[in-house]
Amino acid sequence: MTKDITTVDQYIAAAPAERQVILKTVRQTIKAVLPEAVEKISYQMPTYHQGETIVHFACAKQHLGFYPTPSAITAFQEALQPYKTSKGAVQFPFAQPIPYELIAMMTAWRLAEVKNKHA
């Protein structure tokens, strides 16, 4: 991906053809949970902002990177056991089915966390 990408549509179009359906589905999954969020490119990744950044995602060579913040990684650590995680990220390998329902649940959890912070 290049720094010239300024929209999520451009980001998805620049991804390898075999990954575009997955990226579109991740986008739809997130937007279904966050219909009021601002969608933008931040840190060269699709980003969803509603009060603050809720989640990012990115297409890597062998996996989908999902970035829901460290608190969400901690909250979902049991569900994330099959995947490689780091402080604020999880890697969903393209060689396995992408867990869209888990992405939706983590996104909803992050939205609730942000709303509670700003209540």
Q: What does the domain layout of the chain look like in residue ranges?
A: 8-117
pLDDT recorded at residue 119: 74
CA distance 92 to 66: 8
Amino acid 45: pLDDT? 97
Distances, alpha carbon 13 to alpha carbons 46, 70, 78, 107, in Å: 12, 29, 34, 23
Per the listing, tokens 């279904």 go with 32
- For domain 8-117, which CATH number applies: 1.10.3720.10, 2.60.120.380, 3.30.470.20, 3.90.1150.200? 3.90.1150.200
Write out residues in the chain with pLDDT < 50, as ranges: none
Predicted local distance difference test score (pLDDT) of residue 114: 95
According to the model, what pLDDT value does residue 1 have?
Answer: 56
User: Distance (Å, rounded) from C-alpha 92 to C-alpha 114?
Assistant: 24
Q: Provide the greatest CA pair distance for the chain.
A: 42
pLDDT at 117: 87
- What was the pLDDT predicted at 2? 59
The whole-number pLDDT of residue 118 equals: 79
pTM, 2 dp: 0.95
